[in-house]
Structure 1
Amino acid sequence: MSGWALAVLGGAVALCFAYVRRRFVAVTITGTSMAPTYSEGERVLVVRGGVDRLRRGDIVVVRWAPADSIPLLLIKRVAGVAGDPVPADVATAVNRPAGTPIPAGKFIVRGDNPDWSLDSRTVGFFDGESLLGTTVKRRA
């Protein structure tokens, strides 16, 4: 193979690698908020995407930054998307009456283990800025 062909092949491989690195991220689970679905130490593959693709039931990774603190990554299940009614247990956190529609570009999440979950019941709405992506696969 000529030097020119090797350079083109190397460039193509580098572009593919860069695409995969920008599109996917591996996340390690810490905590028990998603038990029994996920356990501490499990790894999941997350595909980056926008809020417009979310559906109730998707498992997502979101960024949440408490005031004056380091941002945290939270893995949660989508419990409501734009247009869905605000659930009663989230109404206070989002400062809206239960049953009013979730605004465009916003969504709510809950942990599968509600007694040990920091989620929309406390934090309120999440938006596209906070969305890292949706889980697609468990990793060994």
Structure 2
Amino acid sequence: MAVLLVILAAASGCVIAARITLLIVTVRGGSMHPTFHHGDRVLVARRGPRALAKDVVVLVRLPEALNPTGSRNGPSLVLKRVVALPGDTAPGGVPVPPGHVFVVGDAEDSYDSRHFGPLQNDLVQGVVLTRLRKAPQPATRILRDRRMS
């Protein structure tokens, strides 16, 4: 009985630790296309600014003033790629100040630091570790492909 309680306590501890350090996020929109698609699910590790590096995809909380959907929907969480760190010169010749990061979406029409400038490091909520599940392909594409053959 004591062994079972120890195993149960250890398993509970692991679940709690995972919930504190990891997030599962569903991608909404196409700003990270072709890397991620609308409906993909990704695993995000909550990390501080020390984990930031160039070419890492991060989960960012946009401030209300930058939220393209308006504050009525709450804070906007978006996936973006880090392209410049403090001391770097970002695309467009923008210098990145200390404590900031320059992030862009993989899609050319992404709403990102090219529009609003570098973001403070504390707006980075975590780093994407991996895609857990690809978004299902739309049925219309399958039907269209069958008609063509």
Please, what TM-score do these two structures have when normalized by structure 1? Answer: 0.82
1:113 pairs with one of 104, 107, 117: 107
Deviations 1:18-37 (A, max 9, x none): 11111111111111111111
Identify the residue that residue 93 of structure 1 maps to in structure 2.
Answer: none
CA contact (8 A) 2:91 2:114 kept: no
- For 2:132 and 2:106, locate their aligned partners in 1 and report how far apart those are by CA, in whole Å: 20
- For 1:119 and 1:74, locate their aligned partners in 2 and report how far apart those are by CA, in whole Å: 9
Identify the residue that residue 103 of structure 1 maps to in structure 2.
Answer: 97
Identify the residue that residue 124 of structure 1 maps to in structure 2.
Answer: 117
Match status 1:78 vs 2:82 = yes
Identify the residue that residue 52 of structure 2 maps to in structure 1.
Answer: 54
CA contact (8 A) 1:33 1:113 kept: yes
Identify the residue that residue 94 of structure 1 maps to in structure 2.
Answer: none
- Secondary structure at the counterpart of residue 112 of structure 1: coil
**Paired letter, 1:8:** V
Deviations 1:61-104 (A, max 9, x none): 1011323712111101101111212432xxxxxxxxx354x222
**Paired letter, 1:77:** R
1:9 pairs with one of 7, 11, 17: 7
- Secondary structure at the counterpart of residue 122 of structure 2: coil
- For 1:127 and 1:15, locate their aligned partners in 2 and report how far apart those are by CA, in whole Å: 33
CA contact (8 A) 2:87 2:97 kept: yes
Identify the residue that residue 135 of structure 1 maps to in structure 2.
Answer: 128
CA contact (8 A) 1:52 1:105 kept: no
- Moved segments of 4+, more than 6 Å: none
In the alignment, structure 1 segments of 5+ residues that lack a partner are 89-97
- For 1:37 and 1:87, locate their aligned partners in 2 and report how far apart those are by CA, in whole Å: 20
**Paired letter, 1:121:** R
Alignment of 1:30-69 (within 5 A): 30-67=28-65, 69=71
**Paired letter, 1:17:** V
- Secondary structure at the counterpart of residue 21 of structure 1: helix
- Return the offset for 1:139: 1.0
**Number of aligned positions between the proteins:** 127
**Paired letter, 2:76:** L
Please, what TM-score do these two structures have when normalized by structure 2? Answer: 0.77
